Amino acid sequence: MKIELVKAHDGVNLRVAHIKPSTKPLGVIQIVHGFGEGLVHYEEVVTFFSNNGYACVIHDQRGFGEMPNLSPKQREKVRGVVPGYNYLLEDIKTLREQINLWYPGLPIILFGHSMGGNIAANYLLNNNEYEKAILEAPWLRLYKPLPKIATPLARLLGKISKNITVSANLNVDDGPHTDDVFHDRMSLRLYAAVVRAGEYAIKNAANISIPTLLLCPDMDKLVCPKAIREFAANANKNVVLVDYPEGNHCLHADVIKEKVLADMLDFCNRRN
């Protein structure tokens, strides 16, 4: 994967992987990775899509990824820390505009997984400049909700400082997270914002106006499958729900990944 730096709206350099197919691209898949991950965890996904004619663009979200310009001690301090949820939305827009420069006139598909699915969904509620979207196991609610006091407390402490972080204690056996890039640190500010954004997305799902593939792993123990189905029930017919009864959270790396990737590709190739 070719790594480039793209300047965000606030001057921060976003670390971006840009993968081209060997032939003229059919379109571009813009990927928003999940919590704790980085672009390195999607090498198999982007290879699959590029082998099937699509260019792929994915960035390390703020507070996540390799952060090669920082020392181990510096990385530890900023893991899971972001200035605010709106910065994550702005970064999607920045990459969308960059893709226009790289691939003018090509259809662009927004693909978000887990926390990235939460962010992508909320972006789509107010923006329709994508041709299609794929939301894989979006974090709309957690599988095991924290105590009710946790969210308002996180919101309060998050307002005091963006740097207060906690360990999510995630079970990451389900997925390609066996390296030192993955981490489970999250700022309380980010946690409270993602929780709020998840509920907002469920309530306002009907505002998503483009063809959207919504993938729900029924065996997910990280995010709540019922919340994903609730989102689908509130959406219009342009949002198509696909259940995977034996699927786990990281569908694109699960034992059923061949079927999942084939379903994604079929959706991308389909002319609506």
Alpha helices by DSSP H, listed for 52-174, are 72-78, 85-102, 115-126, 150-160
Q: What is the pLDDT of residues 73-105, one digit of tens each?
A: 888 888 878 899 999 999 999 999 999 999 999
114 within 8 A of 222, measured Cβ to Cβ = yes
pLDDT above 70 covers a percentage of the chain that reads: 87
User: Is a pLDDT exceeding 50 seen at residue 175?
Assistant: no
Domains of the chain: 2-269 (3.40.50.1820)
Residue 259, pLDDT score? 97
* Alpha-carbon gap, residue 208 to 187, rounded angstroms: 28
Q: Tell me the mean pLDDT in the region 137-148.
A: 83
* Alpha-carbon gap, residue 189 to 165, rounded angstroms: 8
3-state secondary structure of 258: helix
SS3 content of the chain, % helix, strand, coil (to 5): 40, 20, 40
Q: Tell me the mean pLDDT in the region 122-137.
A: 96
* Alpha-carbon gap, residue 243 to 228, rounded angstroms: 10
Strand 27-32 and strand 54-59: pairing?
parallel
Strand 13-19 and strand 2-7: pairing?
antiparallel
pTM: 0.91
| C-alpha separations of 84 from 91, 107, 188 in Å | 11, 29, 11
pLDDT band at 256 (very low <50, low <70, confident <90, very high): very high
